[in-house]
Amino acid sequence: MHQQDFYAQAAANIAKRRQQARLQQEQRIDAIRAEIPETVEIDRQLRSACQSVLQIAQSGRDRAAELAALQQRSLEAQQMLEQVLVAHGYPADYLDLHYTCTICNDTGLHQGVHCQCFQRELGRLGAEQLNAQVQLPLTRFETFSLEYYQKLPKEQFAAMQHIFVTCKKYAEEFTLTAPSLLMIGKTGLGKTHLSLAIASVLLERGFHVIYDSAGNLLRRLEREQFGREPASSHTDTMSLLLDCDLLIFDDFGTEFDTNFTRSAIYSILNGRFSAGKPMIINTNLTHEEIQNRYGDRIVSRLFASCIGMAFCGEDVRLQKRLQQPTKL
């Protein structure tokens, strides 16, 4: 999708929100009129007063006393309507228009420039396009089984139980200021599964999540950096990685180790951590291996900014294959 297509799609999506807000208001008004008939007369009085105020204002004549009286009548009718709504268990503003964005009222513009909701919609579309190219299928917490860890020593099994509960709680209670997670452990212990289960929940909750292997993301950055793949100012990969609500870096440490990848990794880590934006980083490397591969600058940023999770056990994928019946 080209830059102009992103802009057009973002504008269309925000316009749809505005239209939906108006439709929902009309539906609430119709339902309240049917449930509370007295609101029909109050609403008629309110509309009549407002229309009269508008006519006087447009006439250009000095009718200040009459205008003040109509404005007072309008205010009293509005207060009466709110009191009736509250008495029947509804919020006082139940019949008002409720826009998704209260800054621009779902117009996408604020003070002559694109509203932050428009920028967020651009980011969501960019993240959606980036994720569409990912080979990692999303998973669910329901398909994560602790039975593959039951043969572990008691302390290690308890640790895996705690990791599972913590990840599920993380997804359920996630906010834009949530902590970052560093998942460390051998291949096949559930790091990717739990990370993508978190992604599934957050995407359903409307957050912007980008998930892929470190190698894939860094290769894309390199192609854009050296001109082998075009990127617009609002949809380039680095901007998306820095601005999304949650970035999941899978298989950290399996990417090619070059000056570019080290620089890009530090830029991503430093940019997100400095802005207080959360990440989930999965790696098969040990602390010592990370130290040897990346050096003090990256290791310091990584371990100082993340909650560590040490996965233990035997390769779950291998266990599943061994449980499958052998085909003759």
| Cα–chain center distance at 124 | 8
Q: What is the DSSP annotation of 72-120?
A: HHHHHHHHHHHHHHHHTT--TTTTS---S-TTTTTSSEETTEE-HHHHH
Residues of the chain above pLDDT 90, percent: 55
- Tell me the mean pLDDT in the region 161-177: 96
Q: What is the C-alpha to C-alpha distance for residues 91 and 141, in angstroms, rounded to an integer?
A: 36
For the chain, the domains span 3-111, 133-323
Q: What is the C-alpha to C-alpha distance for residues 323 and 148, in angstroms, rounded to an integer?
A: 11
Q: Is 227 helix (H, G, I), strand (E, B) or coil?
A: coil
Nearest to 135 by CA among 215, 203, 224: 215
The answer to whether the CB of 313 falls within 8 A of the CB of 189 is yes
Lowest mean pLDDT among 115-124, 208-217, 251-260, 274-283: 115-124
Q: How confident is the model at residue 43 (pLDDT cuts 50, 70, 90)?
A: confident
E strands, the chain, in order: 109-110, 113-114, 180-184, 209-213, 246-252, 279-283, 306-310
pLDDT in the model for residue 60:
63
Q: What is the C-alpha to C-alpha distance for residues 9 and 13, in angstroms, rounded to an integer?
A: 6
Question: Which tokens go with 61?
Answer: 């004549």
Q: What is the DSSP annotation of 287-304?
A: HHHHHHHHHHHHHHHHHH
Report how far apart, in Å, the C-alpha atoms of 112 and of each of 6, 11, 109 are. 19, 15, 6
pLDDT in the model for residue 232:
47
Question: Which tokens go with 123?
Answer: 């980011």
Residue with more model confidence, 130 or 28: 28
Each residue of 15-45: b (16+ CB within 10 Å) or e?
eebbeebeeebeebeeebeeebeebeebbeb
Q: How confident is the model at residue 129 (pLDDT cuts 50, 70, 90)?
A: confident
- Tell me the mean pLDDT in the region 185-193: 93
Q: What is the C-alpha to C-alpha distance for residues 273 and 247, in angstroms, rounded to an integer?
A: 11
Residues facing residue 244 across a β-bridge:
none
pLDDT in tens, 223-239: 888 765 555 444 588 98
pLDDT in the model for residue 225:
83
Assess whether pLDDT exceeds 50 at residue 251: yes
Lowest mean pLDDT among 62-66, 156-160, 161-165, 261-265: 62-66
pLDDT in the model for residue 308:
94
pLDDT in the model for residue 235:
54
Secondary structure letter of residue 142 according to DSSP: G
Nearest to 20 by CA among 98, 130, 94, 118: 98
Mean residue pLDDT across the chain: 87
Residue with more model confidence, 176 or 124: 176
Domain 133-323 fold is Rossmann fold (3.40.50)
